[in-house]
A and B are shown apart, each in its own frame.
Chain A
Amino acid sequence: MRLTCPNCGARDLREFTYQGAALNRPEGDWGESWDAYVHLRDNPAGPSQEYWYHGLGCAAFLRVERDTRTHDILLVALASGGAA
């Protein structure tokens, strides 16, 4: 598998590590939204929003949209929202 890092270009899978589903961190005290954030994960058959870490590259966290059925990479962006 290959990801096109906005900073570094197309790179091999082994430069990256999967960092789980891309979720929004809740605020405030423990509750259902926190439980969902820490523990509950969808297992979509289709587009999946996830984080990948370019640890053997530029150290950027990437937000990746990947189709779990085909492994098509639909989108790669810096998780910080900034431009490369």
Chain B
Amino acid sequence: MRLSSGGLIDRTQPIGFQFDGHDYAGFQGDTLASALLANGVRTVARSFKYHRPRGIFSAGSEEPNALVTLGTGAQTEPNVRATTQELFAGLQARAQNCWPSVDWDVMQVNDLLADFLGAGFYYKTFMWPKKAWEAVYEPLIRRAAGIGKLSGADDPDLNEKAFAHCDLLVIGAGPTGLMAALVAAEAGADVILCDEDATLGGRLNAEVEEIGGQSARDWAAATLARLSDMANVRIMTRTTVTGVYDQGTFGALERVCRHLPPGRGKRPVDCFWRIVAKQAVLAAGAIERPVAFRNNDRPGVMLAGAVRSYVNRYAVSPGRAVTVFGNNDNAHRTARDLLAAGVHVAALVDAREGAKTDLAVPFYPGAVVERVFGANGVEAVSIRTAKGRERLHSDCVAVSGGWNPSVHLTCHLNGRPVWDAGLAAFLPAPGAVPNLIPAGAAAGVFSTAGCLASGAEAAGKALLALGLNAANTTIPQAEDGTYDITPLWQVPGRGRAWLDLHNDVTVKDVRGAAVENFRSVEHMKRYTTQGMAPDQGKTSNMGALAVLADVTGREVPQTGTTTYRPPFVPVPIAALGAGGRGMGFAPRRLTTSHDVSLSMNAPMIEAGLWYRSSYFPRQGEATWRQSCDREVAMVRNAVGICDVSTLGKIDIQGADAARFLDFVYTNTFSTLKPGRVRYGLMLREDGFVMDDGTTARLGPQHYVMTTTTAAAGLVMMHLEFVAQVLKPDWDVRLISVTEQWAQVAVAGPKSRALLQDLLGQDLSNDVFPVMACGPVTLAGVEGRLFRISFSGELAYEIAMPARYGESLFRLLVARAEALGGGAYGLEALNILRLEKGLLTHAELDGRTTAQDLGLERMMAPGKDFIGKAAASRPGLVAEDRARLIALKPVGPVKQITAGAFLFEQDAEPVRTNAQGHVTSAGFSPTLGHTIGLAFLQNGADRVGERVHMVDHLRQITTLCEVCEPVFFDPEGGRTRG
């Protein structure tokens, strides 16, 4: 029911919206909750388990009941709290967890079965048969329970993440936060002021009181205006600080345009902030807690402070005859404000003996609300006094069990809150988070005057730590009332009394947990699901804990609290992962020949983040195999061109560069002459092979190392480790030059002719033998030439500065085509190296030793190198280790597949009999059959033997012959040609 005047709403701006298919209207400044209340909508949701009707309970982010689904289609957003969702034109909301409608829900039958559905019901009932859990029970339960549902469609909305830094972060912009921000800002500190509300001021907007002679809300607005005029202050509205992390890092969720209609343009819906603050003031206020009594979950039962928010801020009365029920002074304000707004107060019930009031209302000191009546909402209340029971007509109960300081953020780094018996509440533990100063209601200071002073004091402490001098900011006069409370958690009696409204946990459930010996608060929580809903028990944990303490005969502090963990409010995964979709998740690394290769119709294959050409199809080739076979033949018979720039290149210089390489490689590089290249093998410190590659010596103190594409980053980091940590005194400098050089392989019998012609330079064996390297000039550009081969052919690799990479590739391909060759891709490269038994990371899989690979002679004696000691361990040199061999099919089945296992011919193909596995395989057009590389126990001694290759996944069994791992040109005459 909308009141005729007052509130922070703009009555000149009506806003139309829909809830559950019905059209309603609210005003600018409304939340969805206040607009629904204004329209008399009481039932807005169905409860999680019993499907009981539920109404709006709070006026903030602590809301346990009023979770609705917003929007349609792909932009459907479930579990939106109606109490924080600002109203906008055309807003469409739907109730959750109900069918066919929120007013008549089929599943409310659950409520009749409540006696059987208590906590732990699922665990006890759906035990047998065991198989039925996954197949029947769980899907059934999941369908019946649960809350909002995702659309299942791709999220079309944008999200963002951002960083901010400041001297002082003020969390919460109520009286405490505003005062703290003002004091710090006037002293010149860089201040960020965050608040989750759209209109800042905290409770000042919800209460009727004065600060410094003006209304509290006007003071808040004026203070904000002052702050926003200051260049050193950043005010972040609609921003909830969600978590505290180490070294002054805070997570914060900004709802950037959730208050605007869809089609918001290119703005993100949410932005997740990481705010780094030297100091912080926690001015997050307090959250009111209810008292449990029979049927206290009915629509119409609300927090007393929330009723004031609706009356004072939104000019909405949640009822026509309101019963106010509390155990503290603060509740009386609700009766006062309702009266002032002209709303009938049916009763003011104060559980404290000897409570007093001056208000002209029916007053019941020393009494309690025992139960409410009404199936779909409060219709009447039963008040129990010392004299007996009285039933009153009432459609709303405003309940206050006291206030819990919002200590959540002080607990995120393991801090445990401290019980204050006077306030009957937990307070932040002193120094729980370094440089985070709790103040105001969050620190248990509940009067407005106290909050202002506390905020100023906290800012003063922060300024001191920052080395800034506080200016002379005056603290205005304000309300300085008392907060007297007598703890009351639940009203004893028959029937069900709710603690956790969201998860349908009752007093009886918590008692039941204790009876079943789940006496630890953490056990009770998990047994009953108390506090595990999206609201994380903000309004209910304290009550449940007190009930548990009572049942187990302990005091609250002995019972302890459950752990407060981030986030303080739910954070969409989309906001946390902003920027992490598609290429944001895996950026693409492209070679300089990428565009040319695409223009040649080459399909790309991913190698880490790199994109490499798979093959270059020509007219008439229908399958990749046809192209691959042709490219292999081209390299074997003419000349092929392949971009190999993706291999890691590390430039190594310094007086100790040679010594350094001797230490990181198993073999020796100090003896390598300038102008020569050597193949190197690198181990990890545990003795297994890390990587291999060629390293060229360009000068006495200058090497360039190549790594495999996959291990480039790993090797670079490893070398930095060795240089900085193990050998800090050596003069060696490293830099990755992978991106700086475009490197192209020119391979095949006609490669020399091609390059001699292109470079105008003699490349005969006498001048430029195998494993030579040296500078070359092409079209006036200085580059490097290496005579190295990954194909077993006469081959070179030519490197040019990356900006010439594309033209280099074009030029080489054109020259090669004129000689009957052309470009080849990764598929052909793989077959060429398989035919030669050359290694990739399929073989260097982190579990292989030099000996496994037949490279034990590369372990140079007489020098220390990384992995040397560990490589000598018995297990690493055992004779029966699986060693590298090659396979060829000799039976009717001709397939060899990577990943398949090897067995002796007469052995049953089961795991315990496996003797090795295939690492890579492919069809060799040169040999005319499939070939594979594999590791086989004692492999080196078993050449000529026959084994079964069994691929259990593809159901292939192939009889293979064990071969030496070099099929093609084992003497290497072609390479040296």
A residues neighboring B (CB under 8 Å): 1-2, 10, 12-13, 19, 25-31, 34, 37-38, 51, 53, 55, 59-61, 70-73, 78-82
Interface pair A78/B276, CB less than 8 Å apart: no
Judge whether B135 is part of the interface by a CB distance below 8 angstroms: no
Chain B residues lying within 8 Å of A1, measured Cβ to Cβ, are 245-247, 249
Q: Are B724 and A78 in contact (CB under 8 A)?
A: yes
Residues of B within 8 A of A (CB): 163, 245-249, 274, 276, 413-414, 434, 685-686, 717, 720-721, 724-726, 728, 864, 869-870, 872-873
- A53–B717 Cα distance when bound, in Å, is 8
Given contact pairs A27-B864, A80-B728, A53 touches B720 in the complex (Cβ within 8 A): yes
Measured CA separation A43–B870 after assembly (Å)? 23
Chain B residues near A59 (CB, 8 Å)? 720
- Does B726 lie within 8 Å of A12, measured CB to CB? no
Q: Is the beta-carbon distance between B724 and A70 smaller than 8 angstroms?
A: no
**Are the CB atoms of A2 and B728 closer together than 8 Å?**
no
A38, B685: Cβ atoms under 8 Å? yes
Q: List 8 A-B contacts (CB under 8 A).
A: A19-B721, A28-B869, A51-B721, A55-B717, A61-B720, A71-B246, A79-B728, A80-B724
| Nearest CB of B to A35, in Å | 9
Partner of A2, one of B246, B724, B873: B246
Residues of B within 8 A of A38 (CB): 685-686, 870
Q: How distant is A36 from chain B, measured CB to nearest CB, in Å?
A: 12
Contacting residues, chain A, for B721 (C-beta < 8 A): 19, 51, 53, 61
Residue of B nearest to A14 (CB): B274
CB-CB under 8 A from A25, the residues of chain B are 685, 726
**Given known contacts A38-B686, A61-B724, is B246 in contact with A30 (CB within 8 Å)?**
no
Closest 5 CB pairs of A and B: A2-B247, A80-B728, A1-B246, A71-B246, A80-B724
Does A30 lie within 8 Å of B873, measured CB to CB? yes
Judging by beta carbons under 8 Å apart, are B725 and A2 in contact? no
The residue of chain B having its C-beta at the shortest distance from the C-beta of A60 within the complex is B724
Q: How far is the CB of A16 from chain B (nearest CB, A)?
A: 12
- In the complex, what distance in Å separates the CA atom of A28 from the CA atom of B183? 64
Beyond A1-B245, A12-B249, 16 additional contacts (C-beta under 8 Å) are: A1-B246, A1-B249, A2-B248, A13-B246, A26-B869, A29-B869, A30-B869, A30-B873, A34-B869, A51-B721, A53-B720, A60-B724, A61-B724, A73-B247, A79-B725, A80-B725
A73, B590: Cα distance in complex, Å = 39
Contacts of B685 in A (CB 8 A): 25, 37-38
Q: Are B725 and A30 in contact (CB under 8 A)?
A: no
In the complex formed, the residue of A with least CB distance to B725 is A79
Residue on B nearest A37 in the bound complex, by CB: B685
> Given contacts A1-B249, A12-B274, are A79 and B870 in contact (CB under 8 A)?
no
Nearest CB to that of A80 among chain B residues? B728
- Report the separation of the CA atoms of residues A38 and B56 in the bound assembly, to the nearest whole angstrom: 60
Are A79 and B724 closer than 8 Å at their CB atoms?
Answer: yes
Distance, CA A79 to CA B721, complexed state (A)? 9
Whether the Cβ atoms of B249 and A71 lie closer than 8 Å is no
**A48 CB to closest chain B CB, in angstroms?**
14
CB distance from B190 to the nearest CB of A (A): 15
> Closest chain A residue to B245 by CB distance?
A1
How many Å from the CB of B908 to the closest CB on chain A? 36
Given A28, A55, A73, A82, which contacts B728 in the complex, CB threshold below 8 Å?
A: A82
With the chains together, A28 CA to B247 CA distance in Å?
41
What B residues does A28 contact at CB under 8 A? 869
Residues of A within 8 A of B725 (CB): 51, 61, 79-80
Residue in B248, B413, B717 whose beta carbon sits within 8 Å of that of A70 in the complex: B413
Distance A53 CA – B486 CA, assembled complex (angstroms): 56
- CB contacts (< 8 Å) of B434 on chain A: these are 72
